[in-house]
Structure 1
Amino acid sequence: MASEPLAHAAEAASHHGFDLAPIVILLGAAVIAVPLFKRLGLGSVLGYLAAGLAIGPFGMGLFSDPQSILHVAELGVVMFLFVIGLEMQPSRLWSMRGEIFGLGLAQVALCIGLLTCVGLALGYPVAQSFVAGTGFVLTSTAIVMQMLDERRAMGLPKGRRIVAILLLEDLAIVPLLALVAFLAPGGADATLADRMAGVAIGLGSIIGLVLAGRYLLDPLFRLLGKAKAREVMTAAALFVVLGAALAMQLGGLSMAMGAFLAGVLLSESSFRHQLEADVEPFRGILLGLFFLGVGMSLDLAIIAANWHLIAVAVVAYMALKIFGIYTIARLFRAGRREAIERAVLMAQGGEFAFVLYAAATAVGIIDTQANAMLTATIIVSMALTPMMMILHDRLVPKTGPSMEGVEAADGLAASALLIGFGRFGQIVSQPLLSNGCSISIIETDTDAIRNARDFGFKVHYGDGSRLDILHAAGAHDARLVIIAVNDRELSLKIAELLRSEFPMVPVLARSFDREHAIELIQAGVEWQIRETFESALALGEKALEVMDVDDEERQRVMEDVRRRDSERLAIETAEGIYAGRDLIHGNAPQKKAPARPGSK
């Protein structure tokens, strides 16, 4: 595995046993590159690819045989598919069937057709054009999921639709790998008897795996669970993944299919979470090793010699894929903005393209040079995605929230003003409403306003940090104002504005922690409560009850805890005020007192 720069180190290490130098270099490259690329907003996948390129034969030359690494690292892909299978509970698949098998299948089918035309237009055979285009259709799950999370869109309807498409693409890799084997030279010329025998062996392997998963795996893990040996459970998890992959391989099918089926079979097992936790570290390391190997395989000489063809392929593939995604999104009644955002976000090729291209190279559909060019095309598209999203956000004008069915706060009058109607505000409102108090409620989340209307709540749209909105919501006539927003900086800003403009109106506030509570008190709120304080005390009191502490002693202990907490909070608030006064008057700040137990 080691090349000339490592020869002396390897020779020296051989006298002392196992050669650790290559492993240390691989891990060191990943440790340096991945955090750097994530910091730059380019994602961990590109970090692994860049690290592999840097240490590979076309970089610093620390490794000369990336294929030997890829053979081991392919187990990362196998485990990745096992984890995907674990998440594919039949009930979840059924609830998302319309989006997965409708929207997802339509997008994949149209994009495969469009992207296959690129290769045909360049004069390549059908099989090569199909494999090249299909690999680019499979979007990068790692990049898209990371960007959805960064944009806080994972739980939104548009985010769920993208996740459904990604699930379909993850599922599609299994039949696509089988199709690559069929398209291989000679793959379609086998005799009918050979085909039937192959199908029978494959079906037998699948049936055997299904039966084993249904009747043997749960009893096996139940037995191992009673032994209470964590390392044995981990070994059993790896045994299941690799055993299922081997069973499929012996049956003439892909290891990936075996791992995926094993995951699906265990998706509703009571040991599912334990299995996922045991496999996850190996999956992550081996998948990272796979990307390192792919980066090492990137032949810069081939790219330099064919840069014009690669540039044409990147532009053509991304443009046609954007067109296909946008068309399907609009056909499935997505809004124009959502369709554009989805198309730009999913325009790149993905990790599974490397798997597909490697399989196509192994069976002779494409040669090594074509594999290098296609791999480079995928990597370039991945690198362009974050930059395209930045460009999208700048060019596509931002729109305000939809006000359909939502009324703005205007001329409201009530005995109490509640600012924020999330999970905390909803609970706060119940005692007041039950007692017949009149409340004006304002909120900035239009979806939450519409949802509240469905449950009989009258909530108006309004930003509590704006003075004109506070006047329109009736803050000047209210007997009290309650701040229940889910944003600590915003709540502090609202408290300061209320103290400045409505000093005679009592303000009650939700605080997030001790530091925030002190800030709110200094901002002039009448009373505040940390959102977890009372619930934590209730749990502590229940713990004393379970431990058979009598009622009188429990009451004394809880009162003492509350009293000491109030005293500490008052002292710390006063210290904060004095420190602030010292700075205002230009005096040197006093040395900070050591933290007291429980002051966080």
Structure 2
Amino acid sequence: MQEQHALPYLRETLLFLALAGILIPLLQRWRVNQVLGFLAVGALLGPFGLGLWAHAVPWLGYLTVSRVEGVEALAELGVLFLMFMIGLELSAERLWALRRWVFGAGTAQVCLSAVIIGCLAYFFGNSLEAALVLGFVLSLSSTAVVMQLMAEQRSMNSPLGQAGFSILMMQDLAVVPLLILIGVLTSGQSEGLAALVTVTVAKSIGAIVLIYLIGRRVIRPLFRSFARQRQPDVFMALTLLSTLGIASLTASAGLSMALGAFLAGLLLAETEFKHEVEITIEPFRGLLMGLFFMSVGMAIDVREVIASPLWLPLSVIGLFTIKACVLAVLFRIGGFSWARAFEGGLLLGQGGEFAFIVVGYAMTTHLVAPPIGQFIMLVVSLSMFLTPLAARVGRAIGERWEQRHHEQAFGEAVLEAAGGRVIIAGFGRVGQMLAQLLSAQKIPYIAFENDARLVARLRAAGFPIYFGDAARAELLRKAHADLAPAIVLTMDHPASALNAVRGIRRELPHVQIFARSRDEKHARALKQAGATVVIPETLESSLQLSSFVLQTLGVSEGAAAHLVQRERERHIAELEGEAAP
């Protein structure tokens, strides 16, 4: 008698959990983007990968997924919790501050991209209705992929991250009118299209405001009443209830569940339970997001890729090119440099997960022919798969552009004066504080920074700062770095600091390099690369805190300073000893 499992899709769930337990540590060790890793594994183990040979090689059936439906159902939860975490990181005031990007740049991006892509679709033989739908579908980007990449790069709170997030929010709002548009086009009521869409958008906004206002009255008292019991399981249940409950309310109002999850996070962000909720939900969100990316990878049919060796890659490249150009222009108009504009354009240049929903609906209503719909889904899947690479290319193009158009040319007088100055690489908060202390002691310095806008602003204020990468050999020679009494690295990005130490030490083996590190692990890497002195941020903050605590407890200021200095010297000696060959 064949064994029956009470849980549906049990084998697929067990396979995913096993892969997650093995894959996530390996990706972190190999420094491979997790989005790319899960997409690749999904394509490999899906029904169009090794699953094609499962009937011929029976043991492959235990390592592959043949039924994508169950995986996709669980993956939808991943998208919900991603949107919930996004809302949790914001507040209503912060979202209102982004309204110019949400309703201005976001609307412009969707409309401009839809017009260009729709015209191309019509030119290649699609009906006017199908071209209109395809244009709007492909104008949307993947919130899940982009937000995961931003989280890994820790760029969500950067100006570009906030602008990109705002555009993604507008795209999510555009899904509802798009689904209505398909219904109108298939019913033949195109005469009242504008009025119907306007009324629906107004109803959608009203539903969002109503849910938000009711939620503000309910969420905080609900959490306060149960928080007194101090039971983690109750707290977890409340978090799930809030997320799924508000998501179901938005779904019943004709909006997306993802938007409801975002509203739930936004409501909890204004309460005192924000950080506890983040800790509670984070492990589940990571697993479910991994499942979502695997399900996208499973939708990639390798046979179709082989069958369309020309049109498929051209379509993916064309999609990225059109959207990246539109977005880059909008980012530039919004005040970003071309470097950041190109980076943001390629980061949001892919198709989005809503395409699978919208195109599927369009195929069931016979608005889009099944072969075209399948081809579009494949284009979207591949574009999501290539997004990490496209984002990296965007950063590289932007950096080359900045170096060609904005790098300051040193005059001979500046070159002569640069010799003998302290060189500061990275002019953020730490670099500017160091510069103030050097100026107070009449010690000359010169600074280099990769952010062209920051360079322009600070040069206008009179700071001796220039655009450039301190790791580049030609820049070091122009600045007479061999005559510098010290080179101080204060950049925020750990990889940039490590590359700078290696580049400087390769060109200047005897110069003193002082570096700031994120933590002790980063400090050891900098010491091994050749830094003379490395100060971990965690060390200094803990020592300063210890000094204040000791003085509060009655230890004299001099004794506390002596203890702190002795501990500092011990840690630095340990770092130097570990870095020694």
TM bin (shorter chain): 0.7 to 0.9
2:40 is the counterpart of 1:43? no
Q: Deviations over 1:505-541 (max 9, x none)?
A: xx7955658896999899997x986666555333213
2:16 is the counterpart of 1:22? no
The farther-off stretch of 338-347 and 126-135 is: 338-347
Pick one of 394, 400, 403 that aligns with 1:400: 403
The letter for the 1-side match of 2:224 is R
- Post-superposition offset of 1:562: 3.9
- Post-superposition offset of 1:238: 0.9
List alignment gaps of at least 5 residues for structure 2: 56-60, 491-496
- For 2:112, the equivalent position in structure 1 comes to 110
Pick one of 75, 92, 106 that aligns with 1:73: 75
Say whether the 8 Å CA contact 2:339–2:397 is kept in structure 1. no
- Post-superposition offset of 1:222: 1.6
The letter for the 2-side match of 1:24 is L
- Post-superposition offset of 1:135: 2.3
Distance in 2 between residues matched to 1:300 and 1:473, nearest whole Å? 55
Aligned to 1:347, the other structure's residue is in SS state: coil
Aligned to 1:354, the other structure's residue is in SS state: helix
- For 1:551, the equivalent position in structure 2 comes to 555
Say whether the 8 Å CA contact 2:88–2:266 is kept in structure 1. yes
Answer 1 or 2: which has greater helix percent: 2
- For 1:540, the equivalent position in structure 2 comes to 546
Distance in 1 between residues matched to 2:542 and 2:178, nearest whole Å? 53
Say whether the 8 Å CA contact 2:48–2:300 is kept in structure 1. no
In structure 2, the CA distance between the partners of 1:305 and 1:145, relative to structure 1 (3 Å rule), is: same
In structure 2, the CA distance between the partners of 1:344 and 1:557, relative to structure 1 (3 Å rule), is: closer
- For 2:444, the equivalent position in structure 1 comes to 440
Distance in 2 between residues matched to 1:13 and 1:310, nearest whole Å? 42
- Post-superposition offset of 1:24: 1.4
Distance in 2 between residues matched to 1:244 and 1:165, nearest whole Å? 23
Distance in 1 between residues matched to 2:437 and 2:329, nearest whole Å? 50
In structure 2, the CA distance between the partners of 1:375 and 1:569, relative to structure 1 (3 Å rule), is: closer
Aligned to 1:544, the other structure's residue is in SS state: helix
In structure 2, the CA distance between the partners of 1:64 and 1:469, relative to structure 1 (3 Å rule), is: closer
Percent identity reads 30
- Post-superposition offset of 1:342: 4.8
Aligned to 2:416, the other structure's residue is in SS state: coil
In structure 2, the CA distance between the partners of 1:110 and 1:530, relative to structure 1 (3 Å rule), is: closer
Pick one of 356, 359, 362 that aligns with 2:358: 356
- Post-superposition offset of 1:109: 0.4
Distance in 2 between residues matched to 1:158 and 1:197, nearest whole Å? 33
2:98 is the counterpart of 1:92? no
Q: Which structure has the larger Rg over C-alpha atoms?
A: 1
Say whether the 8 Å CA contact 2:342–2:397 is kept in structure 1. no
Distance in 1 between residues matched to 2:416 and 2:483, nearest whole Å? 7
In structure 2, the CA distance between the partners of 1:561 and 1:242, relative to structure 1 (3 Å rule), is: closer
Q: Deviations over 1:242-269 (max 9, x none)?
A: 1123233444554344334434444433
In structure 2, the CA distance between the partners of 1:461 and 1:347, relative to structure 1 (3 Å rule), is: closer
Aligned to 1:438, the other structure's residue is in SS state: coil
- For 1:213, the equivalent position in structure 2 comes to 215
Distance in 2 between residues matched to 1:230 and 1:444, nearest whole Å? 49
Aligned to 1:484, the other structure's residue is in SS state: strand
Distance in 2 between residues matched to 1:363 and 1:275, nearest whole Å? 41
The letter for the 1-side match of 2:442 is S
Say whether the 8 Å CA contact 1:213–1:266 is kept in structure 2. no
The farther-off stretch of 77-86 and 466-475 is: 466-475
Distance in 2 between residues matched to 1:522 and 1:38, nearest whole Å? 19
Say whether the 8 Å CA contact 2:250–2:256 is kept in structure 1. yes
The farther-off stretch of 358-367 and 274-283 is: 358-367
Distance in 1 between residues matched to 2:167 and 2:204, nearest whole Å? 28
Pick one of 46, 49, 58 that aligns with 1:52: 46
- Post-superposition offset of 1:215: 0.9
The letter for the 1-side match of 2:72 is L
Say whether the 8 Å CA contact 1:210–1:265 is kept in structure 2. yes
Distance in 1 between residues matched to 2:90 and 2:525, nearest whole Å? 47
In structure 2, the CA distance between the partners of 1:119 and 1:441, relative to structure 1 (3 Å rule), is: same
Distance in 2 between residues matched to 1:321 and 1:518, nearest whole Å? 39
The farther-off stretch of 181-190 and 336-345 is: 181-190
Distance in 2 between residues matched to 1:206 and 1:160, nearest whole Å? 21
The letter for the 2-side match of 1:52 is G
Say whether the 8 Å CA contact 2:363–2:369 is kept in structure 1. yes
Tell me the TM-score normalised to structure 1 length. 0.70
Say whether the 8 Å CA contact 2:550–2:560 is kept in structure 1. no
In structure 2, the CA distance between the partners of 1:277 and 1:304, relative to structure 1 (3 Å rule), is: same
Distance in 2 between residues matched to 1:430 and 1:123, nearest whole Å? 65
State how many pairs are aligned: 549
In structure 2, the CA distance between the partners of 1:136 and 1:567, relative to structure 1 (3 Å rule), is: closer
Pick one of 221, 224, 228 that aligns with 1:222: 224
- Post-superposition offset of 1:404: 5.9
The letter for the 2-side match of 1:559 is H
Distance in 1 between residues matched to 2:529 and 2:66, nearest whole Å? 65
The farther-off stretch of 491-500 and 256-265 is: 491-500
Distance in 2 between residues matched to 1:255 and 1:461, nearest whole Å? 45
Aligned to 1:269, the other structure's residue is in SS state: coil
Aligned to 2:141, the other structure's residue is in SS state: coil
- Post-superposition offset of 1:168: 2.8
Distance in 2 between residues matched to 1:103 and 1:58, nearest whole Å? 44
- Post-superposition offset of 1:218: 1.1
Say whether the 8 Å CA contact 1:482–1:509 is kept in structure 2. yes
2:415 is the counterpart of 1:410? yes
Alignment of 1:63-462 (within 5 A): 63-144=65-146, 161-183=163-185, 185=187, 209-296=211-298, 313-314=315-316, 317-318=319-320, 320-322=322-324, 324-325=326-327, 342-361=344-363, 365-366=367-368, 370-385=372-387, 399-400=402-403, 402-403=406-407, 409-412=414-417, 417=422, 419-420=424-425, 422-431=428-437, 433-434=439-440, 437-445=441-449, 447=451, 449-453=455-459, 457-459=463-465
List alignment gaps of at least 5 residues for structure 1: 1-7, 476-480, 502-506, 581-600
- Post-superposition offset of 1:235: 0.9
In structure 2, the CA distance between the partners of 1:113 and 1:571, relative to structure 1 (3 Å rule), is: closer
Distance in 1 between residues matched to 2:200 and 2:353, nearest whole Å? 29
- Post-superposition offset of 1:229: 1.6
Distance in 1 between residues matched to 2:304 and 2:418, nearest whole Å? 73
- Post-superposition offset of 1:55: 6.9
Say whether the 8 Å CA contact 1:348–1:385 is kept in structure 2. yes
